[in-house]
Amino acid sequence: MTSVADLEKAFHVYLDEIERCRQAGTYRALLHVLVSLPDICAALEDTGWVTGEKYVEWCRRYCPCTDVVTAEVYREIRDIVLRPGSHADDGRALIQVARIRGNCRPNAFKSGAAGRAGSLS
pLDDT at res. 99 = 57
pTM of the full structure? 0.64
pLDDT at res. 16 = 93
Question: Which residues are within 8 A (CB) of 64 and not within 5 positions of it... i.e. 6 or more apart?
Answer: none
pLDDT at res. 85 = 64
pLDDT 10s digits, 67-90: 878 889 888 888 888 876 655 555
- Domain total in the chain: 1
pLDDT at res. 87 = 56
pLDDT at res. 47 = 74
- Domain residues for 85? 4-120
pLDDT at res. 98 = 58
CA distance 2 to 98: 35
In the predicted model, residues of the chain with pLDDT beneath 50 are 102-121
